[in-house]
A and B are shown apart, each in its own frame.
Chain A
């Protein structure tokens, strides 16, 4: 187990590249993103400190996924800057593959490689991308499958696993690369309700271990318990942000209140559609 120290110490530990103490792990400055005429992000400023867990909430289509995807450049921002661990990822000269190695991403649809076993899903990227040897990759894979409670499923193919197990393998796959930051895009939205808990438990433990996390989620109880900060987005801007007790418990803006009423009252809640996937 790579047991990172608890949160406060982890923040100090920071990252190898992040020498300057106090500089945020993720820094987003005046980020804009348009798809044709569709302005999806309209000026986002956000900082995430090392070891911090930020939950991003907001209605469908508000640009949450796009924001997350701009952090590891799966989408190219129209304008603005993004820094991860002190490196400007939006710099045209940056080696984006090298940057992405430091950023783990977990998708709503898991996106495990279906032709590989759980172990192979973890070893292939380590070997091909990080150039790790067979033994080291296998050892790291075993350790990380253990970490998400799936050591017993090491040789199973994704199709033989439940959605919750697949998502935990996907988390282990990202962790095996040793990322400084983890991005989660609605990791439990595609799961049957009874499988959500296992995935959230893994994420909760990861947060306790001091991982820097940006989590797009509709799980308000998770946000309230685990997040250091909750960010509410609507229409491509951050409407309000702050500690969960404030944003979820006592929202200041009408739009936030409206959204939370809908999401917390199951009768009024509309099923969220997967967008842009």
Chain B
């Protein structure tokens, strides 16, 4: 070794420099910021008080409901498409494959506009059932189904072949074996990626902004934006953001935990 410092000393020194630079940067930013304006613009206490409880009881609640309706619709459709993708009937496989390619290749926003604007125009007089909930379930679920179908297909294929053979040898029909033996095991495998999909949907539910909703139907993003422009202040945006994090951060945590457990179980 040519250096007089040991490896450990050099690592300490390097870390020390990095902490110093980091703290200095924080100090500079803190010093430059106009704290009064910042608080006024992003955390006006009066405004925060005014936001509650509606931002929770209406906006967050709607976000959750929209997410779940999209998730449930997407899950059911995704399961059907996954089973079609694995079918021995070739046309089913083609239809499923085409569906997956199309809906994974389109922006979710485009689907929302399509559901919200194009469908009512193209089929005048028809209504998507369920009102706003039906529209959101479609807008979120159509795309989510494409991703979930691929996830579920992979999960079903990850169940060992011997499971189907054992079930068939006991007298299960193919369909019953799927329902009673294969799919329950596949779902255990796909719980972490599906939970991840739930997090994505939770955020994508903000696209409801483009559907046109009544006051009572507003979710977090729309609610935050409306109140921000009413009050000419960004505080509602910040609070709406915190409401998202309140759900997404713990959920992501759960996903990581489930993934780690699945890795250990293997």
Contact = CB atoms under 8 A, between A and B. Distances in A.
A129 B170 contact: yes
A270 interface: no
B173 A97 contact: yes
Contact of B169 (A72, A112, A114, A115): A72
B168 A74 contact: yes
Given A114-B185, A115-B184, A115-B185, A125 B165 contact: no
Interface in B187-207: 188
A105 B169 contact: yes
Interface of A: 72, 74, 97-98, 100-101, 103-105, 107, 109, 111-115, 124-125, 128-130, 170, 173-174, 177, 277
Contacts of B173: 97
B171 A125 contact: yes
B43 interface: no
Contact of A101 (B161, B170, B181): B170
Closest 5 CB pairs of A and B: A111-B166, A101-B171, A105-B169, A111-B162, A125-B170
B163 interface: yes
Interface residues of chain B: helix, strand, loop or mixed (majority): helix
A125 B168 CA distance: 10
Contacts of A74: 165, 168-169
A73 to B, nearest CB: 9
Nearest to A124: B180
Given A107-B162, A177-B171, 4 more contacts: A97-B172, A100-B168, A109-B162, A124-B181
Nearest to B170: A125
18 contacts: A74-B169, A97-B172, A97-B173, A100-B170, A101-B171, A105-B169, A109-B160, A111-B163, A111-B165, A111-B166, A115-B185, A125-B171, A125-B172, A173-B170, A174-B169, A177-B170, A277-B161, A277-B162
A129 B172 contact: yes
Nearest to A103: B169
Contacts of B185: 113-115
B188 A174 contact: no
A129 B176 contact: yes
Interface in B129-183: 160-163, 165-173, 176, 180-181
Contacts of A170: 166
Contact of A113 (B161, B169, B176, B181): B181
A173 B167 CA distance: 11
Most chain B beta carbons < 10 A, residue from A98, A109, A124, A129: A129
Nearest to A277: B162
Given A111-B162, A128-B176, A129-B176, A100 B184 contact: no
Nearest to B187: A115
Nearest to B171: A101
A191 to B, nearest CB: 16
Nearest to B177: A128
B193 to A, nearest CB: 18
A129 B172 CA distance: 6
A125 B170 CA distance: 7
Contact of A100 (B160, B169, B188): B169
Given A113-B181, A115-B184, A129 B165 contact: no
A271 B171 CA distance: 33
A98 B170 CA distance: 9
A112 B165 CA distance: 11
Contacts of A101: 170-171
A173 B171 CA distance: 12
Nearest to B182: A113
A111 B171 CA distance: 15
A234 B172 CA distance: 32
Contacts of A72: 169
Nearest to B176: A128
A113 B170 contact: no
B252 to A, nearest CB: 26
